[in-house]
Amino acid sequence: MKIIKQTTVIIFIALFLMSAQTLTSKAAGNCDYILNTKCTTCHNLGRICRKLGKKKKSKWTTTIKRMVRHGAPLSKDEVQELAACLTEQNASVKDACK
């Protein structure tokens, strides 16, 4: 069990370091960019897209904040932006989920 915890920590550190250069969204207002550069480091889009239309913004925010606690490199603004985009299913999210 200790090896699993150590491996998990190492994986999260590696993912964080790989993503460190993109801590701030290069394309503010672009959920597609956030989904494809930050969320997909741990998840495939299918997992996220299957939940579209099934969660309210507060639930998306809770989910995204939990991912941040696990190491997802999202700013506070990106958390709010992504929660809104996933709730509203805007065009960039729909395009990413095709």
User: What's the pLDDT tens digit per position in 19-30?
Assistant: 544 443 444 457
User: Can you tell me whether residue 89 is helix, strand or coil?
Assistant: coil
Confidence of residue 93 (pLDDT cuts 50, 70, 90): confident
* Sequence-separated (6 or more) residues with CB below 8 Å from residue 79: 61, 64, 65, 68
- The proportion of the chain whose per-residue pLDDT surpasses 90, expressed as a percent, equals 33
CB atoms within 10 A of CB 18: 11
User: What's the pLDDT tens digit per position in 23-51?
Assistant: 434 444 578 888 888 888 888 888 888 88
CB hemisphere CA count around 26 (13 angstroms): 8
* Sequence-separated (6 or more) residues with CB below 8 Å from residue 88: none
Is the Cα dihedral 72, 74, 80, 83 positive or negative? negative
Rg, the chain, Cα only: 14
Alpha helices in the chain (DSSP H): 2-19, 31-37, 45-49, 57-69, 76-88, 91-96
